[in-house]
Structure 1
Amino acid sequence: MSDVLTALRVLSTITAIIAALSPAPDFWRIYKNRSTGTVSILPVVTMFCNCYMWIMYAHLVNNFLPQFVICTVGMFTSVAFGAFYYHWSNDHRHIHQIYNVAFKVLAVYTLYYALGTSGVTNQSNDHVETTLGILSSVVNLALDASPLETMKEVVQTKDASTIPIILSTSFLVNAAVWVAYAIADNNIFLLVPNAIGMILCTIQVTLYLMYRPKQTSTHMNDKEEVQVVDFRQRPGTRGLYASVDHVDSMDNEHNNNSTDVLPFL
């Protein structure tokens, strides 16, 4: 069993790091479009809260690997993604509201951690560990459920473009590995939230497969040439001449390269 547990620790570490990096494709699209578009900040914020809480829990139960290490990585990536999102978002008020709720939740958790571990609450270490495990599990479920924020819209519009499928898929695989690890380690606080998380992530992937994003109109290629024709009459003549401007489209910026004046009539 020890060899199996070691292998699952390594595998869970790998899948958790992949899950922590899974928002990257969506944020690359934000960078290219210079807009957050349909991408939500909620999964990134809940990822930070989840990692913060599990770091505290891992420190309490002396679980350095894999919990402490991978949650530290997750905290750093979520901070980076959050700052990136804030930079390109036009709705800072909404982001502030989400940040405010997250801050209050983490403040309460940290306060209880400090009071519980110092003996102020008159609880045993096992009782404090149990309470922190339950609180961390609740936030873990919030993280897995966060991509379902737009589920109602997806069903109504029959368009799953708002579901971050890469993130949802990586969360599904990660939850499955953690379920196996929790069973091997006999850890109920890891088993229950990740088992429910598997169900939530399965719902997300199923919705995406049912309502695949609709194809949008294609944009011009970076090197696509466009001809702008302007009909005009040359002074002193009766005929019309066509002025043809050759325009290269690159990042939606038009640059006139040349102009040809051709006899039309």
Structure 2
Amino acid sequence: MDIAHFVFGLFGNAFGLFLFLAPIITFKRIIVNKSTEKFSGVPYTMTLLNCLLSAWYGLPFVSPDNMLVTIINGAGAVIEIIYVFTFILFAPKKEKLKISGLFAIVMTIFSAVVFISLFALHGNSRKVFCGFAAAIFSIIMYGSPLSIMRLVIRTKSVEFMPFFLSLFVFLCGTSWFVFGLLGRDPFIAVPNGVGSALGTLQLILYFIYRKNKGNAKTKTTQEESMEMGTAKPSKNAMGDEEELKGDTS
């Protein structure tokens, strides 16, 4: 592993850790209120699957020179499991069953990938199989903010798209994109290139509509302002209720 490859891997680890820890504010609110309110638990389970598959892909016997990928995604998997279990604990019965079922599906998919890659595949075929699986769910994870971007365009407000989270989506995606290019690994470069592009679009939208922050149309906020598992009702819609702070994972 050359120096530039290693350095961009370190950048990716740092920015990735920030993104994984960002929902702490959301879960602090959930724990204090003992309710998941309008927050969605689906993005956390999907991010967990992405972390598990990416961590597995980065192991030396699957793909060489990608241990930094395993380190950050292994840490991310632990963090996301905590989020998922916390969400299940405070979710209403229907949502509890939904997220528990989705968690079971996530673990089944991961277990199947591990089993097939260990006992049915070897060498490059193992790398390709695990790489495709990791890349698909990485793209799904990065695609999560599309709904919030649609809301920003429609309401012409960035009330529900925090600047620093958009910035770190861009920085994280870009770092791993360059890491993948330097390592000639399309399974890392392609999905993170998508992440970098989406992060760029978020930043462009932010600077276009930054002066309109807090002026979103209230009728759409409660059900549509979900970005990677978060929701934030506006003050106008909730009267004297406290404004939720948007997060991502």
User: Is TM > 0.5 for Structure 1 vs Structure 2?
Assistant: yes
C-alpha distance in 2 between matches for 1:146 and 1:163: 12
Q: Which residue does the alignment assign to 2:9? A: 9
Q: Which residue does the alignment assign to 1:110? A: 111
Q: Which has the higher contact order (CA 8 A, sep 6+)?
A: 2
Instruction: Report sequence identity in percent.
Output: 18
Q: For 1:195, what is the secondary structure of its paired residue?
A: helix
Q: Which residue does the alignment assign to 1:139? A: 137
Q: Which residue does the alignment assign to 1:30? A: 30
C-alpha distance in 1 between matches for 2:24 and 2:6: 29
In 2, are the aligned partners of 1:23 and 1:166 still within 8 Å (CA)?
A: no
Structure (1 or 2) with the greater strand fraction:
1
TM-score by length of 1: 0.68
CA-atom RMSD in angstroms: 3.1
Paired residue type of 1:182: G
In 2, are the aligned partners of 1:176 and 1:195 still within 8 Å (CA)?
A: yes
The structural deviation recorded for 1:118 is 1.6
C-alpha distance in 2 between matches for 1:33 and 1:202: 35
C-alpha distance in 2 between matches for 1:93 and 1:160: 31
C-alpha distance in 1 between matches for 2:37 and 2:164: 16
Paired residue type of 1:135: A
In 1, are the aligned partners of 2:52 and 2:110 still within 8 Å (CA)?
A: no
In 2, are the aligned partners of 1:57 and 1:133 still within 8 Å (CA)?
A: yes
C-alpha distance in 1 between matches for 2:124 and 2:241: 62
Q: Which residue does the alignment assign to 1:191? A: 189
Question: Kindly tell me: are residues 30 and 78 of structure 1, through their superposed partners in 2, closer, same or farther at Cα, counting changes over 3 Å?
Answer: same
Q: For 2:144, what is the secondary structure of its paired residue?
A: helix
Structure (1 or 2) with the greater helix fraction:
2
C-alpha distance in 2 between matches for 1:87 and 1:163: 27
C-alpha distance in 1 between matches for 2:160 and 2:97: 21
C-alpha distance in 2 between matches for 1:78 and 1:213: 30
User: Superposition pairs for residues 1-265 of structure 1, below 5 Å?
Assistant: 2-59=2-59, 60-63=62-65, 65-90=67-92, 92-119=93-120, 123-149=121-147, 155-158=153-156, 161-163=159-161, 166-207=164-205, 210=209, 212-214=213-215, 216=235, 219=240
Unaligned runs of 5+ residues in structure 1 are 222-265
The structural deviation recorded for 1:146 is 1.8
- CA deviations 1:235-257 (Å, max 9, x no partner) are xxxxxxxxxxxxxxxxxxxxxxx
Paired residue type of 2:48: F
Paired residue type of 1:41: G
Pick the structure with greater CA Rg: 1
Q: For 2:145, what is the secondary structure of its paired residue?
A: helix
Question: Kindly tell me: are residues 86 and 155 of structure 1, through their superposed partners in 2, closer, same or farther at Cα, counting changes over 3 Å?
Answer: farther
Paired residue type of 1:132: C
Paired residue type of 2:184: N
C-alpha distance in 1 between matches for 2:95 and 2:200: 28
Question: Kindly tell me: are residues 114 and 73 of structure 1, through their superposed partners in 2, closer, same or farther at Cα, counting changes over 3 Å?
Answer: same
Paired residue type of 1:117: L
Paired residue type of 1:169: L
In 2, are the aligned partners of 1:58 and 1:67 still within 8 Å (CA)?
A: yes
Q: For 1:52, what is the secondary structure of its paired residue?
A: helix
Unaligned runs of 5+ residues in structure 2 are 216-233, 243-249
The structural deviation recorded for 1:207 is 4.6
C-alpha distance in 2 between matches for 1:100 and 1:220: 32
Query: Alignment length, in residue pairs?
Result: 217
Question: Kindly tell me: are residues 208 and 37 of structure 1, through their superposed partners in 2, closer, same or farther at Cα, counting changes over 3 Å?
Answer: farther
In 2, are the aligned partners of 1:8 and 1:177 still within 8 Å (CA)?
A: yes
C-alpha distance in 1 between matches for 2:23 and 2:110: 26
Paired residue type of 1:66: L
Larger deviation, residues 57-66 vs 176-185: 57-66
Q: For 1:61, what is the secondary structure of its paired residue?
A: coil
The structural deviation recorded for 1:196 is 0.8
Larger deviation, residues 205-214 vs 23-32: 205-214
